[in-house]
Amino acid sequence: MQDVIIIGGSFAGLTAAMQLGRARRRVSVLDTGLNRNRYAEAAHNILGADGTPPGELLARARAQVAAYPTVALISARAVSVSGAPDRFIVTSATGEQLEGRRLILSYGIVDEMPAIPGFAECWGRTVIHCPFCHGYEVAGQSWGLLYSGPFSLHMPALYRNWTDDLTLILDGHAIPDDERQKLKARGVRIENARLVSIDHENGMLRRVTLDDGKSLAMGALYAHPRSHPAADLHSQLGLDMKQTPTGTMIAVNEMQATSRPGIFAAGDLATAMHSVTFANSMGSLAAMGALQSMMV
């Protein structure tokens, strides 16, 4: 019997595992190795590790976590979960079953790449979603913003910290006239047409082409594709969910507890704020929440 089973061994899951290992709790971490930011060449805004490739960060983290004798790292996909506090049962794709007193779900989300030539090839390099994570490296260049919903209209004001050269690509969507005028007053160019292709060299964006035939040179394109959880275990458990601007997340409280006793969630699966730093913080909180729940 494990004290805690953690499903998902990226930044949130490994942080939780380390914290619990240091509390000498028995922990098993199931992980597929498919961390969401594996497409990025470097992870930024991480104190002490700025600019380090995500895979290198995770390799270091796994080695450090594996040094704790009560923590087991298992390369496997969890396919089913059931039970209740003090007897959750997790089954892996190989048929192995684990029993645990508590669960931490940290299996992340999957971005749904649109069928636009060049989009997936540039994702995480020059087609990006977070200026705090990647904006510094493309600051001062011509940026594009692909409209994803009403929240996109608030992004240009933030992006002014990095560039004054911004084009909003509405991708065939209509926006209110007053919003259009506000954007133009800020110096934002607006293109109504749909994005049909991205020209790049090894993931380095050069220009985009719209369905009206226009071609726009730019160094970075900000996009917020739809996303979905990387597994369906939250559905199997009947957990409460919340809508985000681009998908859904597991609803949690201030200690990352879900709507069911004994189950916690952390990382991109449990927030609309996606970054390594946030994932680490939530993993730590989830570990403390799980530990506290076993002390009563």
Model pLDDT, residue 161: 95
Percent of the chain predicted with pLDDT > 70: 100
- pLDDT interval class at 41 (50, 70, 90): confident
- pLDDT interval class at 11 (50, 70, 90): very high
Tokens matching residue 24 = 């000498």
Domains 2-111+226-293 and 119-222 share a fold: yes
What values do phi and psi take at 284, rounded to 5? -65, -45
Name, in order, each residue with C-beta under 8 angstroms of 104's C-beta and a sequence gap of 6 or more.
4, 5, 6, 7, 13, 16, 256, 263, 264, 265, 266, 283, 286, 287, 290
What does the pLDDT average to over 109-132?
Answer: 94
Name, in order, each residue with C-beta under 8 angstroms of 19's C-beta and a sequence gap of 6 or more.
283, 284, 287, 288, 291
Flag whether pLDDT at 138 surpasses 80.
yes
For residue 228, is it left (φ>0), alpha (ψ between -120 and 50) or beta? beta
Among 219, 228, 229, which Cα is nearest to 105's?
Answer: 229
Model pLDDT, residue 40: 85
What does the pLDDT average to over 26-30?
Answer: 98
What does the pLDDT average to over 54-73?
Answer: 97
What gap in Å lies between CA 227 and CA 113, rounded to an integer?
9
Digit-coded pLDDT (tens) for 223-243 = 999 999 999 999 999 999 999
Digit-coded pLDDT (tens) for 252-280 = 999 999 999 999 999 999 999 899 999 99
CB 188 within 8 A of CB 179: no
Flag whether pLDDT at 25 surpasses 90.
yes
What does the pLDDT average to over 135-151?
Answer: 95
* DSSP category for residue 52: B
Model pLDDT, residue 52: 93
What gap in Å lies between CA 65 and CA 22, rounded to an integer?
9
CB 131 within 8 A of CB 162: yes
Give the chain's length. 296
H runs (alpha helix) in the chain: 11-22, 54-66, 119-122, 131-134, 155-159, 177-185, 233-237, 276-293
Mean pLDDT over each residue of the chain, to the nearest integer: 95
SS3 for 189? strand
- pLDDT interval class at 37 (50, 70, 90): confident
Among 8, 27, 16, which Cα is nearest to 106's?
Answer: 8
Model pLDDT, residue 33: 92
The predicted model scores a pTM of 0.93
Percent of the chain predicted with pLDDT > 90: 92
Of the options 3.40.50.300, 1.10.510.10, 3.50.50.60, 3.30.70.260, the CATH number for the domain spanning 119-222: 3.50.50.60
Question: What distances in angstroms separate CA 176 from CA 145, 153, 156, 225, one per listed residue?
Answer: 17, 10, 16, 22
State in Å, rounded, how far the first CA of the chain is from the last one.
18
- Neighbour-count burial for 22-34, b at 16+ CB within 10 Å, e otherwise: ebebbbbbbbbee
Flag whether pLDDT at 111 surpasses 90.
yes
Single-letter amino acid, residue 93: A
CA 216 to chain centre: 29
Of the options 3.50.50.60, 3.10.105.10, 2.40.50.100, 1.10.1740.10, the CATH number for the domain spanning 2-111+226-293: 3.50.50.60
What gap in Å lies between CA 197 and CA 202, rounded to an integer?
15
What ranges do the domains of the chain cover? Answer: 2-111+226-293, 119-222
Flag whether pLDDT at 296 surpasses 80.
no
